[in-house]
Amino acid sequence: MIPGSFDYVRPATLDEAVAALRDAGDEGKVIAGGQSLLPLLRLRLAFPEVLIDVASVPELRGVRDEGSSLLVGAMTTHYEVLRDPLIRQHAPLVAAATSTVADPAVRHRGTFGGSLAHADPAGDLPAVVLAMDGVFVTSSREIPAAEFFADYLTSTLEPDEVLVGVRLPKSFAGWGFHYEKFHRTAQAWAIVGVACLVNRSGGEVAAARVALTNMGSTPVRASAVESAVSGGAADRDAFRAAAGSAAEGTSPPSDLHGSSDYRRHLATVLTARALSRAADV
């Protein structure tokens, strides 16, 4: 398909990018790797008048060590994330989820920040950042992950705000991790995904983080599961019992790949599996 016409600007600095967005008012849209936005344009489901391409903004690139956390630049491609030694060391859950994103061609163009700012609840990274309590660093402020995802394809970014990067705490060092993705083909979106971190203390779970992909209009923290497993035994039966509440409070979509009921069921099965894998039991 052929997109409608639009203007294109390619700012060289963050300030220029913000200015360009401000000039465009409500009609501007930031384009990063284009792997989500371009299909929407080509299907004529989105009609921005101005595309602001942030590929040349140096502040948005790369992964930085900030001491107690990492700052992952918004324009870091999935491929770069996968190969980054800091990510592998301090945020292996991010690498695990990123390795399931689409296919190699998409991973070479698509970006970490772009897929998060797109705020697709079927995307793999939103649940991961939510589980890790990441912080979204923008051109004007910092937004905790729990406050970033507002609705389907909608974040709390203001129209003239550019996502610079995401701060990921290093506090999960030593935690077990797993991203359980259920999809029909390797390149398809998750029907349901579970991002999971487990801190084991001997035979018990000291703490756990669980967040769900595609179980609502935003990524969802499975808080009931987290509470149920914390302080309990790190074994499969306990996990299965705790995972029974994984779909609590969610409102998953019904679509061609799965009904809402089926997604609720999957959430319980997959959460139990993700906990077991993360806890290595």
Distance CA(36)–CA(106), nearest Å, equals 10
Name which position in 34, 169, 232, 253 contacts another protein (CB under 8 A).
253
Q: Looking at beta carbons only, is 167 or 277 nearer to another protein?
A: 277
Q: Is 11 in the site for another protein (CB under 8 A)?
A: no
Which of the ranges 6-14, 89-97, 129-137, 258-266 carries the binding residues for another protein, by CB under 8 A? 258-266
* Cβ contact 271:259 at 8 Å: no
Number of shown-chain residues binding another protein (CB under 8 A):
45
E-assigned strands of 46-106? 50-53, 63-65, 69-73
Which of the ranges 83-91, 141-149, 212-220, 242-250 carries the binding residues for another protein, by CB under 8 A? 212-220
Q: Is 255 in the site for another protein (CB under 8 A)?
A: yes
Residue type at position 151: D
Q: Residue 109: count other Cβ atoms within 10 Å of its Cβ.
A: 16
E-assigned strands of the chain? 7-9, 28-31, 50-53, 63-65, 69-73, 135-138, 142-144, 149-151, 154-155, 163-169, 176-182, 192-201, 204-213, 220-221
Name which position in 32, 270, 274, 275 contacts another protein (CB under 8 A).
270
Q: Is 108 in the site for another protein (CB under 8 A)?
A: no
**HSE (CB half, 13 Å, CA atoms) of 269?**
10
* Cβ contact 232:253 at 8 Å: no
Cβ 137 to another protein shortest distance, Å: 25
Which of the ranges 15-23, 40-48, 56-64, 158-166 carries the binding residues for another protein, by CB under 8 A? 40-48
Degrees to nearest 5, angle at CA 229 with 227 and 231: 90
Please list every residue from 117 through 156 that binds another protein, using CB under 8 A: 120-123, 151-153
Q: Is 67 in the site for another protein (CB under 8 A)?
A: no
Q: Is 5 in the site for another protein (CB under 8 A)?
A: yes
Q: Is 262 in the site for another protein (CB under 8 A)?
A: yes
Q: Is 7 in the site for another protein (CB under 8 A)?
A: no
Please list every residue from 78 through 97 that binds another protein, using CB under 8 A: none
Q: Looking at beta carbons only, is 37 or 157 nearer to another protein?
A: 37
Nearest to 127 by CA among 66, 78, 181: 181
Distance CA(24)–CA(35), nearest Å, equals 22
* Cβ contact 48:28 at 8 Å: yes
Residues lying near another protein in the complex (CB under 8 A): 1-2, 4-5, 36, 39-40, 42-43, 45, 103, 120-123, 151-153, 182, 184-191, 213-214, 217, 251-260, 262, 265-266, 269-270
